[in-house]
């Protein structure tokens, strides 16, 4: 298949995360490898009236410890997470903006839903106190591109800047499109990923009405169980995952520590249903095949797959089917895991978080497990690295993300 010609190679030089299992990359990865999940009963609001009362909250969080308290007040929780993850990634990369051309540095940090906290709180102000009391920061705070804008202001990044919105494929789309910008010469450095903060009453009421979320309220720690026979819905998570991407020659010229290469990426659509994945896995299969083609690697070169793995009846079954279609006999050999079993489903931030997982897998030669997998679904019969982390030789990793609207995204990372 003929795809875009890759004119410049793209590498990863910085990582940042904020999640329920760790507010920084080191803690996050240590807890994933230990199989420590972050799902608990909700404390951000009283969930008693909701069918789902659990989630993977970022607990013990104080945004003002990481950013200007004035900016904390002016911005939504999703922007707080994304800004701090971007700051971690920037510091980790060793970039010095005094030595960079700000015109050649861009930001693409997406959010599937955006400023839900602002939306709900200001609607309450409008209803209870009238229009004159609504905050003048409401619109800037709730729009989905604001995290990208705030990060650009912080670092003087005047290159390409916007926010991707493609539901739960957002983070992967942001990374893939940022990589394209570097390849075609629009930028030398891109700060990219996803952020989400949708553990709010309105969001929960909406997802509960769809019957999409787990109601295993009596056992939060075991509620998210991808590929397991007893799975019955996803568990909401919140946080952010952001990576610094650079042109290989730019990273080498400044002596950067390079984690790995972002080798391939593809985006497709099922064009089937607004919420249900294609039952034949056509769209995801095409995304994985196109990502492999863009990376110029064969299916059997993939050493590990970080699955979308949401713990919903349809997604896990159809993703398994799609993997079998693309990888054939290799699907029985390649280890696969869903780290959502520990982080919850971060919606638009999932792809950013799981790309950090992919990079850390290559760096540490360790596979994070799928926890809570006690009795596999007979239709989910591949190697999902059940319950316990595993040492493995890993050179090339593929990560999948799917979203409402039939969105599919696959990205491939490889050791240099």
Question: Is the pLDDT confidence value at 1 over 90?
Answer: no
Residue 7: pLDDT band with limits 50, 70, 90: confident
End-to-end Cα separation, the chain, in angstroms: 24
Of 214, 229, 253, the domain-final residue: 253
Q: What backbone phi and psi angles, to 5 degrees, belong to 154?
A: -60, -40
Question: Is the pLDDT confidence value at 147 over 50?
Answer: yes
Examine residue 1 and state whether it is found in any structural domain, yes or no: no
Across the chain, what does the average pLDDT equal? 97
Question: Which member of 80, 260, 308, 380 is catalytic?
Answer: 308
Residues 201 and 56 placed together within one structural domain of the fold = yes
Residues 249 and 271 placed together within one structural domain of the fold = no
Residues 220 and 314 placed together within one structural domain of the fold = no
pLDDT tens sequence across 179-207: 999 999 999 999 999 999 999 999 999 99
Residues 199 and 277 placed together within one structural domain of the fold = no
Of 253, 274, 300, the domain-final residue: 253
Is position 180 annotated as part of the catalytic site? no
Residues 144 and 18 placed together within one structural domain of the fold = yes
Residue 413: pLDDT band with limits 50, 70, 90: very high
Q: Is 71 exposed, middle or buried (0-12, 13-18, 19+ CB in 10 A)?
A: middle
pLDDT tens sequence across 91-120: 999 999 999 999 999 999 999 999 999 999
Question: Is the pLDDT confidence value at 138 over 70?
Answer: yes
Q: Which of 161, 185, 187 is nearest to 174 (CA)?
A: 161
Tell me the percentage of the chain whose pLDDT exceeds 70.
Answer: 99
Q: Given this model, what pLDDT does residue 2 score?
A: 40
Question: Is the pLDDT confidence value at 163 over 60?
Answer: yes
Residues 46 and 132 placed together within one structural domain of the fold = yes
**Range 279-302 average pLDDT:** 97
CATH of residue 184's domain is: 3.40.47.10
Q: Are β-strands 189-196 and 105-110 bridged in parallel, bridged antiparallel, or unpaired? A: parallel
Question: Is the pLDDT confidence value at 6 over 80?
Answer: no
Distance CA 337, CA 308 (A): 9
Q: Given this model, what pLDDT does residue 375 score?
A: 96
Residues 240 and 268 placed together within one structural domain of the fold = no
The pTM is what?
0.96
Question: Which member of 173, 250, 345, 380 is catalytic?
Answer: 345
**Range 250-279 average pLDDT:** 96
Distance CA 254, CA 100 (A): 10
Examine residue 365 and state whether it is found in any structural domain, yes or no: yes
Q: Given this model, what pLDDT does residue 142 score?
A: 95
Is position 345 annotated as part of the catalytic site? yes
Distance CA 26, CA 222 (A): 24
Q: What is the extent of the structural domain holding 320?
A: 264-414
Residues 175 and 269 placed together within one structural domain of the fold = no
Examine residue 5 and state whether it is found in any structural domain, yes or no: no
Cβ contact 88:16 at 8 Å = yes
Of 253, 280, 298, the domain-final residue: 253
Distance CA 183, CA 6 (A): 6
**Range 37-50 average pLDDT:** 98
pLDDT tens sequence across 319-369: 999 999 999 999 999 999 999 999 999 999 999 999 999 999 999 999 999
**Range 206-216 average pLDDT:** 97
Q: Report the domain count for the chain.
A: 2
Residue 311: pLDDT band with limits 50, 70, 90: very high
Which is it for the CA torsion 199, 354, 309, 374, positive or negative? negative
Question: Is the pLDDT confidence value at 3 over 50?
Answer: no
Q: Are β-strands 396-403 and 407-414 bridged in parallel, bridged antiparallel, or unpaired? A: antiparallel
Q: Given this model, what pLDDT does residue 4 score?
A: 42
Question: Which member of 168, 208, 260, 380 is catalytic?
Answer: 168
Q: Given this model, what pLDDT does residue 54 score?
A: 98
């Amino acid at each position: 298949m003929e795809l875009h010609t890759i004119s410049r190679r793209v590498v990863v030089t910085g990582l940042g995360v904020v999640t329920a299992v760790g507010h920084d990359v080191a803690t996050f990865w240590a807890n994933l490898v230990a199989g420590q999940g972050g799902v608990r009963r909700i404390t951000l609001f009283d969930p008693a009236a909701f069918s789902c009362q659990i989630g993977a909250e970022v607990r013990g969080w104080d945004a003002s410890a990481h950013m200007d308290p004035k900016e904390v007040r002016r911005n939504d929780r999703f922007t707080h997470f994304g800004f701090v993850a971007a700051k971690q990634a920037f510091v980790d990369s060793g970039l010095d903006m005094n030595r960079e051309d700000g015109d050649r540095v861009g930001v693409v940090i997406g959010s599937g839903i955006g400023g839900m906290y602002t939306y709900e709180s200001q609607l309450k102000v409008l209803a209870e106190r009238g229009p004159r009391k609504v905050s003048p920061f409401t619109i800037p705070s709730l729009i989905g591109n604001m995290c990208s804008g705030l990060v650009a202001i912080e670092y003087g990044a005047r290159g390409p800047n916007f926010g991707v919105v493609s539901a739960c494929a957002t983070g992967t789309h942001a990374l893939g499109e940022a990589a394209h910008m570097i390849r075609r010469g629009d930028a030398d450095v891109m700060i990219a990923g996803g952020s989400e903060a949708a553990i709010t009453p309105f969001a929960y009421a909406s997802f509960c009405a769809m019957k999409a979320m787990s109601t295993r309220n009596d056992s939060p720690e075991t509620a998210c169980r991808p590929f397991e026979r007893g799975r019955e819905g996803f568990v909401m998570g919140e946080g952010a995952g952001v990576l610094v991407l650079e042109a290989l020659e730019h990273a080498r010229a400044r002596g950067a520590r390079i984690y790995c290469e972002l080798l391939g990426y593809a985006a497709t659509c099922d064009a089937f249903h607004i919420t249900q994945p294609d039952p034949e896995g056509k769209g995801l299969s095409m995304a994985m095949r196109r990502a492999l083609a863009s990376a110029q690697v064969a299916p059997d070169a993939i050493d590990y797959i970080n699955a979308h793995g949401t713990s919903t009846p349809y997604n896990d079954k159809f993703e398994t089917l799609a993997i079998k279609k693309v990888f054939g006999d290799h699907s029985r050999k390649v280890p696969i895991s869903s780290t959502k079993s520990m982080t919850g489903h971060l919606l638009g931030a999932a792809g950013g978080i799981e790309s950090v997982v992919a990079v850390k897998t290559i760096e540490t030669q360790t596979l994070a497990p799928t926890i809570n997998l006690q009795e596999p679904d007979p239709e989910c019969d591949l190697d999902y690295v059940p319950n316990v982390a595993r040492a493995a030789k890993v050179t090339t990793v593929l990560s999948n993300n799917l979203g409402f609207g039939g969105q599919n995204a696959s990205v491939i990372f490889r050791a240099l």
